[in-house]
Structure 1
Amino acid sequence: VPEQAQIVMYRGQDAGKEAAHVYIDGHLQSALMPGGYTVFCTPAGEHALESYIGDAPLYVGKRNPASFAKLSGGQTYVLEAPVMPHQSTPIVHTGKDAQQSLQGLRRQVHVISRAPSVVPCQTETKLSLRSDVLFQFGKGGYNDLTAEGRSQLGQVVQEIQQQPGRISGIEVIGHADPIGKAQPNQTLSQQRAETVRRVLLEQGVQSQLVHASGRGSSEPVVQCNSGSRSEKIACNAPNRRVELVIQGTQNGG
């Protein structure tokens, strides 16, 4: 999510016997043995981020952090803990190199993070459902749902129910195409969102999690300025949609 950065810190398959202490802002987050990795999230911004092997009893990483990084929100950083003596700055890996680096490693969770900068990792999943599939054309009421639309929403509910306790909110946002007047489009988009919310609740999603709103035709994803009316209707199909923004938390930190 835009407010957070995710860190994946790993240690390669070296022959060392001592743990690599991972520090963020002077606080211990993990202790990595060879072939281990840790995943955690922190608010976007500048943080001290280091890893030391054999820093006892002085614990330099805790007392005098020297390596800082500016972390952008919505990004995942793959970092390798240095194993050479007197080195503390993590090595940055990107792209395919980052993916390959983590193969065969195991996640370490035996150390309880003491770092106040570490926060639960927030996730945000966006789904876009075509209104032409969900509803009869130009309609948005409960009785206007199509069989295929009900089936699609049932699949969404199944995905939500597979994450018990990890969903923190669901925004249901209706959108209309710009054909016609603004106020009827707003009303239709709101009606579609409320209908989808009703179906989610009927199928067991907790009511306090789901909020419905309509945006009318104010947020088109395609522009259709030319052609006959029928051509514009066909062109505008992607604009007639209901979006679900599912917010949650994942294990991390």
Structure 2
Amino acid sequence: MEYAIYSATHRAVQLSILSVAISCSASALASQNESIFGAAYHPVESVVAEQSQVVFFRGADQGTQGANVYVDRELQGALMPGGYTVFCIPAGEHSLESYIGDEPLYEGKLNPRASAVFEGGKTYFLEVPVNPKSSTPVVQARQSAERQLQDLRMQRHVINRASAVVPCQTETHLSLRSDVLFHFGKSGYSDITDVGHAELRKIAEAIKSQHVESVEVGGHADPIGSAQFNQRLSEARAQTVKSVLLQLGVGTEAIRAVGYGSSEPVVQCDGGSRNDRINCNAPNRRVDLLIRGKRSDT
């Protein structure tokens, strides 16, 4: 009888110790996760035509081993469950694979099993395969991938050894209707509408939040009127927008303004009354911004 009581007490002590151990292990894992993970996912910008961008992610599975990511047989990093990484490679053919627990042979270095052609200017969303025996990443459509990425976080402390990985050269295109920015036929600072000022403030804040290397402000006019007038109008509007962005704190010295006149229409409007042509040509009256930057997440 005494033995039975002792046994029960002993089991209770064992369970208590086990519970503490599990609790400590969970706390350690949570602490580790906090140290290796950074910010939540936010949509990535487009990249230049010479590069391909890769968003490589791993769902919140129950694994404890890292998924080693290899680019052309060289280690880019190791993704833990719930993490993602973003990197760029030159456009062209590459081997991109992930192996869970391939130590000590490191199969991804020795014998890559698959390769693919990555098109320039495109972003690819690749998911670590759930099957640990598979090394070929699952290609996901952007919409589907970004739904999963909402619950994931950027993995920090990624030690990139892949020589093919380069800093991403981002490229963002914005187009603003001149009819929204300016009163019709006008181009000066005092001619900017209230909506135009609000739009430019938003754009300035977005630019300042990025690692911007250059900003081109391109003015465009419709083909109504003389070529000389349209050229002057497009240049004046571009210069005004540039000045406003500088006033709002866009401090890059690489910002430049250029007028394209009516040489690059986005719609063709032939025939009809003058009012019909004015309305039809609204998309041609615009200010385009081409924002180039550099980002290195690895």
**TM category, shorter:** 0.7 to 0.9
Q: Choose the corresponding residue for 2:239, options 173, 194, 202.
A: 194
Cα distance in 1 between the residues matched to 2:199 and 2:143 = 34
Deviation readout 1:76-135 (Å, 9 max, x if unpaired): 222222354553222222355434444533332223111121122333222222222333
Rg larger in 1 or in 2? Answer: 2
Matched, 1:160 2:207: yes
Cα distance in 2 between the residues matched to 1:156 and 1:230 = 31
1:222 partner SS: coil
Q: Choose the corresponding residue for 1:5, options 52, 60, 67.
A: 52
Which residue of structure 2 lines up, in the alignment, with residue 248 of structure 1?
293
Which residue of structure 1 lines up, in the alignment, with residue 177 of structure 2?
130
Q: Choose the corresponding residue for 1:181, options 213, 226, 236.
A: 226
- Given that 2:213 and 2:252 are in contact with CA atoms closer than 8 Å, whether structure 1 keeps it comes out as no
2:290 partner SS: strand
Which residue of structure 2 lines up, in the alignment, with residue 35 of structure 1?
82
When residues 119 and 228 of structure 1 are mapped into structure 2, their CA distance, relative to the original with a 3 A threshold, is same
2:206 partner SS: helix
Q: Choose the corresponding residue for 2:127, options 64, 74, 80.
A: 80
Unaligned runs of 5+ in 1: none
Which residue of structure 2 lines up, in the alignment, with residue 98 of structure 1?
145
| Matched letter for residue 170 of structure 2 | T
Q: Choose the corresponding residue for 2:215, options 153, 160, 170.
A: 170
Matched, 1:237 2:237: no
1:58 partner SS: coil
When residues 201 and 72 of structure 1 are mapped into structure 2, their CA distance, relative to the original with a 3 A threshold, is same
Matched, 1:113 2:174: no
Cα distance in 1 between the residues matched to 2:204 and 2:144 = 36
Unaligned runs of 5+ in 2: 1-46
Measured after TM superposition, the shift of residue 250 of structure 1 is 4.1
When residues 191 and 12 of structure 1 are mapped into structure 2, their CA distance, relative to the original with a 3 A threshold, is closer
Which residue of structure 2 lines up, in the alignment, with residue 49 of structure 1?
96
2:84 partner SS: strand
Cα distance in 2 between the residues matched to 1:170 and 1:205 = 9
Cα distance in 2 between the residues matched to 1:135 and 1:92 = 44
Which residue of structure 2 lines up, in the alignment, with residue 204 of structure 1?
249
When residues 59 and 202 of structure 1 are mapped into structure 2, their CA distance, relative to the original with a 3 A threshold, is same
| Matched letter for residue 4 of structure 1 | Q
Task: Determine what percentage of the aligned residue pairs are the same residue.
Answer: 59
Measured after TM superposition, the shift of residue 35 of structure 1 is 3.2
Aligned length: 251
- Given that 2:204 and 2:248 are in contact with CA atoms closer than 8 Å, whether structure 1 keeps it comes out as yes
Which residue of structure 2 lines up, in the alignment, with residue 149 of structure 1?
196
When residues 79 and 145 of structure 1 are mapped into structure 2, their CA distance, relative to the original with a 3 A threshold, is closer
Which residue of structure 1 lines up, in the alignment, with residue 270 of structure 2?
225
1:208 partner SS: coil
| Matched letter for residue 246 of structure 1 | I
| Matched letter for residue 50 of structure 2 | E
**TM-score, L = length of structure 2:** 0.75
When residues 141 and 55 of structure 1 are mapped into structure 2, their CA distance, relative to the original with a 3 A threshold, is same
Measured after TM superposition, the shift of residue 28 of structure 1 is 0.8
When residues 124 and 54 of structure 1 are mapped into structure 2, their CA distance, relative to the original with a 3 A threshold, is same
RMSD: 2.4
| Matched letter for residue 273 of structure 2 | S
Cα distance in 2 between the residues matched to 1:207 and 1:107 = 28
Cα distance in 2 between the residues matched to 1:34 and 1:152 = 39
- Given that 1:53 and 1:83 are in contact with CA atoms closer than 8 Å, whether structure 2 keeps it comes out as no
| Matched letter for residue 57 of structure 2 | Y
| Matched letter for residue 211 of structure 1 | R
2:253 partner SS: helix
